[in-house]
Amino acid sequence: MKPHYRVTIFGSARLKEEDPEYRDVFNIARGLAESGFDIVTGGGPGLMQAANAGHKSLATDQHSIGLNIKLPHEQHPNQYLDIVQEFDRFSSRLDAFMSLSDVVTVAPGGIGTLLELFYTWQLMQVQHICETPIILFGEIWTGLMVWLQTEVLERQFFSIQDMHNIFHIASVQEVINFINQVHRDRFEMEHVCVNYSKYRLGLSHTAFLEN
């Protein structure tokens, strides 16, 4: 049996169903379900809920997974989860995300979303995880990309190779198409490795990886 292919979607807990970003993330996740992929989110409200709801809007055998963080306010598991795991600490939750992710999609968000983005990128830079594509979805990331290239890269605080796995994509369908292409190529491209078999953290809450 082939391992499930898992796409993690990070994004703000504060956006509502009437926000256009909610609709966009819903449609991305629905497209990923149609392609046969699991999704992983933080399990909470906002864009996390949009992703889980979009994924569950199709009746498939794929998993809608939530890694929820216990907070004194704001964060409660949404109702669209097949698998939910509660965490007390952001650090262990971030490592669980890394052990599950074949692709990371970063939707609009704030401090927590930026933490997730840069944690993923840092671990790839030091080769603690394998080459996992990071998709920055939406125009909100344009300024960040310009700053990284004209300020940080220009001063050689990182190398151009560190940008290898960052993909800024503005449209819903392009995100879905890109992830499908990565999935098709993963067993044919020499530089693509598979998190499922090589980067297990040995955490008890990742037992469902055997599915």
Chain segment 2-22, per-residue pLDDT in tens: 668 999 999 999 999 999 999
Residue 139's identity, in one-letter code, is E
Chain centroid to CA 85: how far? 16
Q: What is the pLDDT of residue 60?
A: 84
Fold for the domain defined by 6-200? Rossmann fold (3.40.50)
Amino acid at 173: Q
Q: Diameter of the chain by CA atoms? A: 49
Q: What are phi and psi of 152, to 5 degrees?
A: -75, -50
**pLDDT tens readout for residues 151-166:** 999 999 999 888 888 8
Least confident of 72-86, 151-165, 171-185: 72-86
pLDDT number for residue 54: 98
Residues near 178 by beta carbon (within 8 Å), at least 6 away in sequence: 133, 135, 167, 169
- Percent of the chain at pLDDT above 90? 68
Q: Identify the band that residue 205 occupies on the pLDDT scale cut at 50, 70 and 90.
A: very low
Mean pLDDT of 170-195: 78
3-class SS letters over 101-133:
CCEEEECCCCHHHHHHHHHHHHHHHCCCCCCCC
pLDDT at 67 over 70: yes
Amino acid at 108: P
pLDDT for res 74 = 57
Contacts 24+ apart (CB under 8 A), 182-185: 182/103, 182/133, 183/5, 183/35, 183/37, 183/102
Per-residue pLDDT for 146 more than 60? yes
Residue type (1 letter), 187: F
The predicted structure's pLDDT at residue 210: 38
Rounded Cα distance, 22 and 108, in Å: 10
Q: How far is CA 69 from the centre of its chain?
A: 16
Asked whether 11 and 25 are in contact (CB, 8 A), the reply is: yes
Provide Rg for the chain, Cα atoms.
16
pTM: 0.87
With a CB cutoff of 8 Å and minimum separation 6, the contacts of 65 are 6, 38, 39, 40, 41, 43, 81, 82, 83, 84, 100
- The answer to whether residue 135 scores a pLDDT higher than 80 is yes
